[in-house]
Amino acid sequence: MKFLRETTPFTQIIFTLIIIMMGGIVISILGFLGIWIWKGISFETLSGMLTNLTDPGNVGLLKFFQILQTIGMFILPPVLLAYALDNKPFRFLSLDKWPTLLMFGVVCAIVLVSGPVIEWTSMLNQHLVLPSWMSSIENWMRSSEDQATEITKAFLATKSIGGLLGNLVVVAVLPALGEELLFRGLLQKLLKKMTGNSHAAIWMTAVLFSALHLQFFGFLPRLLLGALFGYLLEWTGMLWLPILAHFINNATGVITFFVTGEGLEPDQTNVPLFNNSLFFWAIASGVVVWLLLRFLYLQRPKNETTVSNL
């Protein structure tokens, strides 16, 4: 696939999307074939099992396919394309530099401090309504998200430490690695080459990142997180930092649900947007996050050629 090096960034992006879709299809087929050979379960029976999550065994199968999809769609494509596009794939994916412990600590603080602004953005998203003539679409989206919430609860439900560790791998470790490799490591880089503008590339990638989750009422907070991950890469040149931030964000949700049985986004449509303490905490949170990002930007290697600045 080294011929890709001579093509335009737009062509490389289209090729990337094709590889992602092919990876998802191939890995799903292999998964179904593996289950059929191993357990003798037909495709029709397996499809029914994956929609009936009252049985813990079915949830285990769903996690198995989640792992396969993460590998086939998010980890393998950017790795293969990095080898095709550059003689030094680790450098291409911004994995060739290792952050200092101080930078790791600052990233941990950024994710934890960003909680109020992310939560307020989630509240804002929930207050958004479509025009009355699109009410049927809005009802469908809300119904779909309610169903997705129930699936997530079944997915995360466990009372054992082993189950918690397994959930952390499936929900935090693999998505953090795979999604950051694909979105920030590959697509953001290609979009920056195509547009010539790092800010445009970061926000375009963030839109794609949020849209991929297919959750309208969680679109804005995920957009904000995607932009945060993008700037972490742009201002440091190290993909390990957005990977860490992504992991902490997901792991916090998994651990919170394990401890409390809650932690998924609550219904806040009846809470006022501006006349509440969360709004002021969100402002303070945003200011502190900016200051931490500024500090992190100043800690980048002195020979870093990043064109964007704070």
Instruction: Label residues 52-88 b or e (16+ Cβ within 10 Å = b).
Output: ebeeeebbebbbebeebbbbbbbbbbbbebbbbbeee
Domain boundary pick from 69, 92, 115: 92
Residues 152 and 59 in one domain: no
Residues 195 and 82 in one domain: no
- Domain range holding 206? 97-310
Residues 47 and 68 in one domain: yes
Residues 242 and 111 in one domain: yes
Residues 88 and 135 in one domain: no
Confidence (pTM): 0.88
Give how far Cα 123 sits from Cα of 23, 58, 119, 143, 260, Å. Answer: 35, 33, 6, 18, 21
**pLDDT by position in tens, the chain (length 310):** 667 888 998 999 999 999 999 988 999 889 888 888 887 887 778 777 777 777 777 888 888 888 999 999 999 999 999 999 999 999 999 999 899 999 999 999 999 999 999 988 988 887 777 777 777 877 877 777 777 777 788 888 888 999 999 999 999 999 999 999 999 999 999 999 999 999 999 999 999 999 887 777 788 999 999 999 999 999 999 999 999 999 999 999 999 989 887 655 555 556 666 767 888 999 999 999 999 998 988 877 665 544 445 5
The Cα 160–Cα 110 span in angstroms is: 30
Residues 139 and 264 in one domain: yes
Number of domains in the chain: 2
Residues 251 and 282 in one domain: yes
Residues 166 and 251 in one domain: yes
Residues 131 and 59 in one domain: no
Spacing of C-alpha 183 from chain mean position: 8
Q: Do residues 233 and 242 touch, judged by C-beta distance below 8 A?
A: yes
Domain boundary pick from 61, 92, 123: 92
Residues 76 and 111 in one domain: no
Domain boundary pick from 92, 119, 147: 92
